[in-house]
């Protein structure tokens, strides 16, 4: 239970600081400037996820199952991070003028600079995966927290100096990822994990596990970013600014589930009877998400006005639909980790493809008709469809018992609450 509490505390701190950052940017730059920052970070973050998420899961799995000692694995992890990140950033630099051709030159230049976050982010992500797989949650949480702490400190400093702009905020964001990467390397070095050179068998083993995951990651990342991509191309920076401002609040219900999923993955992977453990994590994550989402919806009008100001009032309906999708995402996060922990990562692809299909249809139908609110409705539909498919996959390969899940939920939630409070 201690590792869960610690990870929750870290996630709460990251989310709180992220919300502080969102409020600062909204107040400093307004909807239009907030949208331009979202444009700057959109494609680097997309490339970061495409290049690193499948490899990250492979590293956690290989470490958790004892496939390689850290002294052998870490040098190979660093090579993969730099090679994959560098290639993705180079591709992004070539595409920036085309992707942002209809936006201001300042946005184009800042987006090109921010491509440097891709290799830096992968170094932090992949080294963090080694700590996560070894259940060293203190180091893993410190790496996760460093990016947000440094970024918010940078933005706050810019606000105090009266120097906040799209280019300067971009540099503050980049500094956050650089700090996280440096901390990850330092922690690995202190444990003696930085060997003299990478080992090809280790690189091959990681890539073999990651290969069947990559198509699923591609589908997942496209589904999660397609709304912002289409908004950036079809609507205005102001529309995107309203959308990401609502997201900063509405994703809160899913954050505990993502933390639980990261904690659950190595634990589920290390045991044979996965069903009961999966169900306990699933109950807790969905219950927390539902309560938080309900509170956000009830307080949406006042919350947006207090945090962002009256200019962001059109974000309120976006918040409601996105919060509904976040509850489904909370269940999805646990179910996906259970399926991967059962050694069947390819099964997540079916859920991702179903979710993407629903998302594409909903976006094409709703975005031209009701604007950014339509994108939030599409997000909720996508998360719901993917979650249902993953539930059936987890029942088949991870021992999830849907009848037992429903039957035992009240008792399990009472027990979990007692343990947390006790």
DSSP string over 116-134: THHHHHHHHHHHHHHHHHT
Residue 223 located in a structural domain:
no
Q: Does residue 247 share a domain with residue 147?
A: no
Q: Does residue 88 share a domain with residue 172?
A: yes
Look at residue 84 and tell me whether its pLDDT is greater than 80. Answer: yes
Q: Does residue 173 share a domain with residue 79?
A: yes
**Would you say 39 and 100 are in contact if contact means Cβ atoms under 8 Å apart?**
yes
pLDDT confidence of residue 138: 87
Percentage of the chain exceeding pLDDT 90: 51
Tell me what the mean pLDDT of segment 360-383 comes to: 94
Q: Provide the CB-side half-sphere exposure for 206 (13 A, CA).
A: 29
Tell me what the mean pLDDT of segment 17-43 comes to: 93
Q: Does residue 416 share a domain with residue 284?
A: yes
Residue 218 located in a structural domain:
no
Residue 325 located in a structural domain:
yes
Scanning the structure block, which residue is given the tokens 């460093």? 146
Residue 193 located in a structural domain:
yes
Rg of the chain over Cα atoms, rounded to whole angstroms, equals: 21
Residue 226 located in a structural domain:
no
Look at residue 272 and tell me whether its pLDDT is greater than 70. Answer: no
pLDDT confidence of residue 323: 93
Q: Does residue 240 share a domain with residue 208?
A: no
Listed range (45-54, 118-127, 266-275, 314-323) with the worst mean pLDDT: 266-275
Confidence band for 70, pLDDT divided at 50, 70 and 90: confident
Q: Does residue 145 share a domain with residue 2?
A: yes
More confident residue, 72 or 317: 317
* Assessment of whether the complete model's pTM goes beyond 0.85: no
Q: Does residue 185 share a domain with residue 59?
A: yes
Distances (CA, A) of 411 to 117, 133, 234, 331, 414: 45, 30, 49, 19, 5
Q: Does residue 421 share a domain with residue 336?
A: yes
pLDDT confidence of residue 2: 62
Of 165, 197, 212, the domain-final residue: 212
Q: Does residue 82 share a domain with residue 7?
A: yes
Q: Does residue 422 share a domain with residue 328?
A: yes
Digit-coded pLDDT (tens) for 217-251 = 788 788 888 999 999 988 999 999 999 999 989 98
The number of domains in the chain is 2
Residue 56 located in a structural domain:
yes
Confidence band for 39, pLDDT divided at 50, 70 and 90: very high
Ordered DSSP codes for 260-310: HHHHHHHHHHT-S-HHHHHHHHHHHHHHHHHHHHHHHHHTHHHHHHHHH-G
For residues 100-139, one letter each, b for 16 or more C-beta atoms within 10 angstroms of the residue's C-beta and e for the rest, the string is beebeeebbbbbbbbbbbbbbbbbbbbbbbbbbbbebbeb
Residue 313 located in a structural domain:
yes
Listed range (155-159, 180-184, 331-335) with the worst mean pLDDT: 331-335
Digit-coded pLDDT (tens) for 180-213 = 999 999 999 999 898 778 878 888 888 888 887 7
Confidence band for 7, pLDDT divided at 50, 70 and 90: low
Phi then psi dihedrals of residue 312, to 5 deg: -100, 15
Look at residue 80 and tell me whether its pLDDT is greater than 70. Answer: yes
Look at residue 5 and tell me whether its pLDDT is greater than 70. Answer: no
pLDDT confidence of residue 394: 84
Q: Does residue 260 share a domain with residue 404?
A: yes
Residue 19 located in a structural domain:
yes
Confidence band for 255, pLDDT divided at 50, 70 and 90: confident
Distances (CA, A) of 163 to 36, 158, 168: 16, 5, 7
Range of the domain at 67: 1-212
pLDDT confidence of residue 399: 74
Tell me what the mean pLDDT of segment 360-385 comes to: 94
Q: Does residue 271 share a domain with residue 133?
A: no
């Amino acid at each position: 239970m201690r590792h869960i509490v610690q990870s929750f505390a870290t996630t709460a701190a990251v989310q709180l600081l992220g919300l502080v950052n969102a409020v600062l940017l909204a107040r400093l730059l307004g909807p239009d400037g907030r949208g331009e920052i979202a444009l700057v970070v959109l494609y680097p973050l997309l490339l970061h996820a495409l290049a690193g998420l499948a490899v990250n899961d492979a590293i956690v799995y290989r470490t958790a199952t004892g496939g390689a000692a850290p002294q052998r694995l870490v040098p190979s992890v660093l090579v993969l991070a730099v090679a994959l990140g560098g290639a993705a950033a180079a591709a992004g630099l070539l595409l920036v003028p085309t992707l942002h051709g209809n936006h201001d030159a300042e946005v184009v230049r800042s987006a090109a600079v921010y491509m440097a976050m891709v290799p830096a982010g992968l170094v932090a992500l992949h080294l963090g995966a080694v700590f996560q797989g070894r259940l060293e949650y203190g180091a893993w949480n410190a790496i996760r927290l460093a990016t947000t702490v440094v970024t918010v400190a940078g933005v706050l400093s810019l606000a105090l100096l009266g120097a906040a702009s799209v280019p300067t905020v971009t540099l503050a964001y980049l500094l956050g990822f650089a700090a996280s990467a440096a901390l990850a390397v330092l922690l690995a070095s202190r444990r003696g994990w930085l060997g003299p050179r990478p080992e090809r068998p280790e690189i091959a083993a990681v890539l073999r596990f990651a290969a069947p995951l990559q198509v699923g990651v591609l589908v997942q990342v496209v589904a999660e970013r397609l709304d912002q991509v289409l908004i950036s191309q079809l609507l205005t920076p102001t529309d995107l600014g309203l959308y990401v401002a609502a997201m900063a609040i509405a994703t809160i219900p899913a954050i505990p589930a993502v933390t639980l999923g990261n904690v659950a993955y190595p634990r589920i992977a290390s045991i044979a009877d996965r069903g009961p453990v999966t169900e306990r994590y699933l109950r807790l994550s969905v219950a927390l998400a539902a309560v938080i989402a309900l509170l956000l919806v009830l307080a949406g009008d006042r919350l947006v006005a207090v945090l962002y100001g009256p200019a962001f009032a059109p974000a309120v309906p976006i918040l409601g639909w996105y919060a509904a999708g976040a509850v489904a995402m909370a269940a999805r996060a646990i179910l996906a980790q259970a399926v991967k922990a059962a050694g069947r990562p390819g099964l997540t692809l079916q859920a991702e493809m179903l979710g993407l299909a629903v998302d594409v249809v909903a976006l094409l139908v709703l975005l031209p008709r009701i604007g950014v609110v339509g994108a939030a409705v599409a997000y909720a539909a996508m998360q719901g469809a993917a979650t249902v498919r993953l539930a059936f996959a987890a029942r088949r390969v991870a021992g999830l018992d849907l009848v037992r899940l429903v039957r035992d939920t009240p008792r399990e939630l009472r027990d979990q609450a007692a343990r947390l409070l006790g």
